[in-house]
Amino acid sequence: MTSSPNTASNAPTPHGPGEDRLTALRRLAQDLPPSPGVYLMSDKDKKVIYVGKAKILPRRVVGYFQRGNLSARIGLLVKEIESFEVMVTQTEKEALILENSLIKKYRPRFNVCLRDDKTYPSLRLNHHEPYPYLEIVRRPVKDGSIIYGPFTSVGALKETIRLVNRLFPLRKCRRPEVKKIDRPCLNYQMGRCVGPCRPEMSQEEYRAIAERVRLFFRGKTQSVKDDLVKTMRMAADNLDFERAAKIRDQLYDLEKTLEKQVVARAGEGDADAWGLAHRDGLVQAAVITIREGVVTGCQQVWAEGEEASERILLSLVTQFYGQGHFIPEEIWLPLDLNEERAPLAEWLATLGQTVKIRLGEGEDVIKILDMAAENALLSLEERLSATLRTQGALVELKARLDLAVIPRRLECFDIAHLQGEATTAGLVVMEDGELKKDGYRRFKIKSPTKGDDYAGLQEAIKRRFAPDKDLEKWPRPDLLLIDGGKGQLSAVLAAFNEIGVTPPPLAGIAKDRLNDGPDRIFKPNRKNPVDLRSGSAGLLLLAKLRDEAHRYCRSYHHLLRSKDMVASIFDGLPALGPVRRKALLGRFVSLEELAKAKDEDILAVAPLAPQVLSKLKERVAKLLAPKTN
């Protein structure tokens, strides 16, 4: 891949005599090489605001600067463009790869950018293992394993695991080698594992159970039932009535499960069917997942952008699979991408899977594509309703808190400690009413004044708003919320004064503990709380942000406390130097984890003498023993 920056790259557009900005940009675009490539549009602050790709660069880029009818969003984009640069590529496929990586890097606000970066969990059965087991994976790879999912609902995932464990109790341990032992683990004794470690359980018998799981996931339930009936009769013929009774119970559970299960079939392979809806700059896609011919779920993907439908769909597909989502054998699309179809298939092949891209071909495919489109439209309507509610809450906050702008970005701080120990601060972020978890930050407070919430809060403020902070990574909030009242707000203002930084708009949220009343909102240098009606949309939004800060901060605090407790039991034990302590702390973050660990697990992390290991386990047991009066 080669790249060649345009002469206007990240610099103010040079105007010729009598030229305006638009004419100068059009002139530069006309001089671009007639090659495939990627173009980056920048504003007056040299910030990339749009990334696009083109089969022929000048033809595509000049179109932005023609004086004609443009969509509202593209019109706003063109008004802000001060310069652009291009990167020439050899092929359209290379341009597609480069565009995808640059959108990830810059997150330009005028692009169709995925806003849901979650990778949904799937269930994986590694059928190549001598003793296969089920595990939850976030980024499944195409290695021959059976992948069931992805699951957009955690409840659906737990229900599937519970069902499979009841019908086919595969092993729960993750040991690379299964050794035969006389006393199996607790899972076997509770009936949650068939016990491949038992001497009487052969590898062939265990793999037969794993094969039933594979067939069950493929929807071949009749084959599973036939195999169970055959095995039950063989057990009865051998007078092994206890085993025959267990298989009979399995058959009964399987029949009851199939009564409740509605399965839609579409061929025999893996496929993703895409539905698309967009309105008012919001884009919603629904991806119906089909695994081994069975519809397993529907993922919702949303974005922002206002372009032609084909361009929106192409951007969503490339970003979705570029984030590591499972790539099936076929992708069904509601629109024909025309000349973009072949480069997309070539690019997907570079990710490790040869893909067939299909349109509405066949009754089954059309039916599922219609279902995907309906799901996308319903989700979009729900989002529009939620957006209206959120906008109402933000407008209310602007009016009630006397803010200069509608607060799109909100941040909230909270402090946690136990009698002054393991003091932590948590910072959570909300943008346009949605929690933005990649902006969360945790602070381990180093202040020597134990238990001083004000000092801890001031330290966190100074570290978050230090003058040298990169505003790209740490943008200033439109409203900074503090979990506390007037005292906390005064401490925060003092911290800003100390570092010489102008504070953003501030507010504190605190319960009326004297009267057991609702949350009250305070502002600096104001005696009475702000008049926000109990149960109003604005107050509920701030309470949601405060509760999330409280949860996030407490979870970090408990983690530090657990590590401190684990570290304390190492004191005085010989042969436990800094290296081994660090290894143990990295593996076992709580006393409970250390207590459940087997000797071999501990020794694999830190080799210890038998007497040291015994003393360590005695200390753990003593600390976890119930307290008696």
Average pLDDT, the chain: 78
pLDDT of 558 above 60 = no
Do residues 67 and 189 both lie within one domain? no
Q: How many domains does the chain have?
A: 5
| Residues 437, 423 contacting (CB under 8 angstroms) | no
Alpha helices in 337-421 (DSSP H): 341-350, 363-400
Least confident stretch, 176-185, 258-267, 378-387: 258-267
Average pLDDT over residues 297-303: 76
Residues 170 and 221 in one domain: yes
Let me know whether 26 and 79 are in one domain: yes
Q: Based on the domain organization, do 199 and 322 belong to the same domain? A: no
Identify the residue with better confidence: 251 or 169.
169
In this predicted model, which residue has the larger pLDDT, 126 or 559?
A: 126
Amino acid 376: pLDDT: 87
Tell me which range, 58-67, 112-121, 274-283, 384-393, is most confidently predicted by mean pLDDT.
58-67
* pLDDT tier for residue 507 given thresholds of 50, 70 and 90: very high
Domain end among 86, 111, 136:
111
pTM: 0.54
- 535-546 per-position pLDDT tens digit: 788 888 999 999
Q: How far apart are CA 166 and CA 157, in angstroms?
A: 14
Segment 140-147 shows an average pLDDT of 67
Report how far apart the first and last C-alpha atoms of the chain are (Å, whole number): 74
The answer as to whether 396 is a domain residue is: no
Q: Select from 300, 256, 259 the least CA-distant residue to 282.
A: 300
Residue 484: per-residue pLDDT: 87
Residue 400 belongs to some domain of the structure: no
Q: Is residue 392 part of a domain?
A: no
Q: 207 φ, ψ to 5°?
A: -70, -25
Mark whether 282 and 190 lie in a shared domain. no
What tens digit of pLDDT does each residue of 179-213 get? 888 778 877 877 788 888 888 888 888 888 888 77
Quote the CA–CA distance of 531 and 533 in Å, as a whole number: 6
11 domain residue, yes or no = no
Q: How confident is the model at residue 606 (pLDDT cuts 50, 70, 90)?
A: confident
| Predicted pLDDT of residue 260 | 41
Tens of pLDDT, residue by residue over 268-297, are 678 899 998 887 667 888 888 887 676 767
| Residue 420 domain-assigned (yes or no) | yes
Confidence check: pLDDT of 496 > 90: yes
* Confidence label for 84 from pLDDT (cuts 50, 70 and 90): very high
Give the residue from 260, 285, 315 where a domain finishes. Answer: 260
Say yes or no: 431 and 369 in one domain: no
Question: Do 425 and 523 sit in the same domain of this protein?
Answer: yes
Helix (H) or strand (E) holding 41: strand 37-42
Bridge-based pairing of strands 271-279 and 48-54 is: unpaired
CATH code of the domain containing 357: 3.30.420.10
Q: Which of 204-218, 391-405, 416-430, 434-448 has the lowest mean pLDDT?
A: 416-430
Answer yes or no: do 526 and 500 share one domain.
Answer: yes
pLDDT of residue 19: 59
Tokens at 132, concatenated: 């296969």
CATH code, domain carrying 607: 1.10.150
DSSP 8-state assignment for residue 332: E
Which CATH number fits the domain that encloses residue 451? Answer: 3.30.420.340
Shared-domain flag, residues 444 and 339: no
pLDDT at residue 628 is higher than 50: no
Residue 552: C-alpha distances to residues 174, 260, 384, 417, 546 (Å): 30, 38, 28, 13, 10
Say if 7 falls within a structural domain. Answer: no
Give the whole-angstrom CA distance, residue 100 versus residue 321.
Answer: 10
Are 214 and 291 contained in the same domain?
no
Q: Which of 364, 382, 400 delimits the end of a domain?
A: 382
Residue 502 lies in a domain: yes
Parent domain of 86: 21-111
Q: What is the mean pLDDT of residues 40-55?
A: 88
Residues 319, 353 within the same domain: yes
Q: Do 166 and 252 contact (CB within 8 A), yes or no?
A: no
Residue 112: is it exposed, middle or buried by C-beta count within 10 angstroms (0-12/13-18/19+)?
Answer: buried
The answer to whether position 5 is within a domain reads no
Helices (H) and strands (E) in the chain, counts: 19, 19
* Cα(63)–Cα(68) distance, integer angstroms: 9
Cβ–Cβ < 8 Å for 301, 316:
yes
Q: Are residues 212 and 289 in the same domain?
A: no
